[in-house]
Chains A and B, each alone.
Chain A
């Protein structure tokens, strides 16, 4: 059986039918990990641990225990999600040797459901970046062209699913960090509504925007995974009380009204624009009503996003003081000097920059002009989205304005790269669900992603639309 052709749901079903074992699945992903080691997708992976887990899960399946539709499936986890069996470095020197003493809620739920964690994926340091280049452990390369970036910040997660180094992956999405690398690597990526998935154990970047998301080959696999990890958690008071259903049914496209903001197909790479138009045509042929609308929020959203995210980062990252966990400088003259040296050595340039930017926008004299204004802009963006969703079911945009750019080898992210997040950050500001659906390639064969955005808590419908397009001939 060619395991590379199987989805995660098909793999688990084949294991339950006795056609292959959990150990076969683990052996397959580690063969892929060896083959694609040069892409630098993993910071840590542990074959012995994975084989031990495979044996345990196989015994449970053989005893007839009903674990989940994804039991036995190997999964990778972004290295900012706490795991007591693996170090959790956030791709930073600061946490290089940090091994948490607890599992994140999502990790606990995966283990209970019989999934097999095989390792921790590479990422931009503390999830700050959108190319995978700010990692302390080296840049992640794109599986289609190794001279290009994989996207980020959940770079290794996207690459692991694209190259068979895992069947599924968990990432985190603060401003597009699941959807954008999914787009650049040609896999399906989904960011749930804020509060659908517990953030307990996710190392914080910007708490009001962070949300754990998923990577898979198909929307069906993502729905099955979200059904396992979602739901109320007593350790995260922001989780939504009512469990959102993930019983994936193809959306009835004939009933759908879809909006494409003109701004999203203006000034983007020609092939990317072509893919969005082609996707819209496909939906149109299936009976959906597609309109082009004016929605002038995107430039403002990038500005508001980086103010709010940096402000929260400056607070969240103040915990790294060299006392309770992580790196501590060796030579210092006083407590204050230890803080300075520890943080200066432990953080990379981009992280330092965002902490400083965050402290700037929170400073007396600048707070009203920047932070308060950004919160007001966020409210305005919420209102604009609500207005669109009062008339339409979904919004369609490119996931990113271009396909994956070349690796430039610097650890600093410039303004142009920040603007690459233009179509993804508004979604986080408003806490909405959104998917990146792989849809065609540019002239160089680099993958393109189309983003479907839905109203708050309509996660299942976003997945359903992606599923319906894939099921139809036009979506192939």
Chain B
């Protein structure tokens, strides 16, 4: 399939990535070449495995629900670019 500028803009938006016109052109070419290669999979008969792929080998790993020490709040907050004594600081979320 062909990758259009419209598709690039849509997936950049979904990815929360801002791209300029030069980047858009490069991304359209690069992603287009990759998708063209990936279209090779259309020629592969996988009908035998169609029902297996989604749920194969999926199982739960459970543990006892015990309270264990967690990370120190101060240590976690120190990793954040902007924070005060007990919270992350973010831009205004609601008007």
Which chain A residues have a beta carbon within 8 Å of chain B's beta carbons?
98-102, 234, 237-238, 299-300, 302-304, 306-307, 314, 318, 321-328, 332, 334-336, 338-341, 343-344, 347, 349, 352-353, 355-357, 359-361, 363, 369-370, 372-380, 383, 412, 414-415, 418
- Cα distance A377–B41 when bound, in Å? 8
Q: Given A101-B71, A323-B90, A373-B42: A356 and B49 within 8 A (CB)? A: no
12 further A-B contacts with Cβ under 8 Å, apart from A372-B54, A373-B42, A375-B54, are: A101-B75, A101-B76, A237-B61, A299-B40, A303-B40, A325-B80, A326-B81, A344-B17, A360-B7, A360-B31, A370-B41, A380-B44
Does chain A have a CB within 8 A of B34? Answer: yes
Q: B46-72: contact bitstring with A at CB < 8 Å (1 yes, 0 no)? A: 101110111010000101000000011
CB pair A303–B91 under 8 Å, yes or no, is no
What's the dominant secondary structure at chain A's contact region?
helix
Q: Which chain B residues border A318 with CB–CB below 8 Å? A: 16
A323 touches B80 (CB 8 A): yes
A321 to B37, CA, bound (A): 31
Chain B residues within CB distance 8 Å of chain A? 7-8, 10-12, 14-19, 23, 26-27, 30-31, 33-35, 37-38, 40-42, 44, 46, 48-50, 52-54, 56, 61, 63, 71-72, 75-76, 78-82, 88, 90-93
Contacts of A306 in B (CB 8 A): 34, 38
Cβ of B8 to closest chain A Cβ, rounded Å: 7
Whole-angstrom distance between the Cβ of B78 and the nearest chain A Cβ = 7
Knowing A322-B81, A324-B88, A335-B93, the reply to whether A360 touches B11 (Cβ < 8 A) is: yes
Q: Of the candidates A100, A101, A349, A380, which one forms a contact with B46 in the assembled complex, judged by CB atoms under 8 Å apart?
A: A380
Contact present for B40 and A300 (CB under 8 Å): yes
- Cα separation A100 to B30 with both chains bound (whole Å): 34
Q: Is A340 touching B18 in the complex (CB atoms < 8 A)?
A: yes
A415 touches B33 (CB 8 A): yes
Contacts of B90 in A (CB 8 A): 323, 335, 338
A379 and B38 contact, Cβ closer than 8 Å, known pairs A344-B18, A353-B30? no
Chain B residue at minimal CB-CB distance from A372: B53
Asked whether B53 lies within 8 Å of A378 as measured between CB atoms, the reply is: yes
**In whole angstroms, what is the CA distance A377 to B15 when docked?**
26
In the assembled complex, the CB of B86 is this many whole angstroms from the nearest CB of chain A, namely 14
CA–CA, A74 and B9, complex, Å: 48
Nearest CB in chain B to that of A332: its residue: B91
B91 & A338 in contact (Cβ 8 Å cutoff): yes
8 A-B pairs with C-beta separation under 8 A: A101-B78, A238-B61, A325-B80, A343-B15, A355-B17, A357-B11, A376-B49, A376-B53
From known contacts A101-B71, A324-B88, A357-B31, infer whether A376 and B93 are also in contact, taking CB-CB under 8 Å. no
User: A334, B91: Cβ atoms under 8 Å?
Assistant: yes
> Which of A322, A356, A380 has most B Cβ within 10 Å?
A356
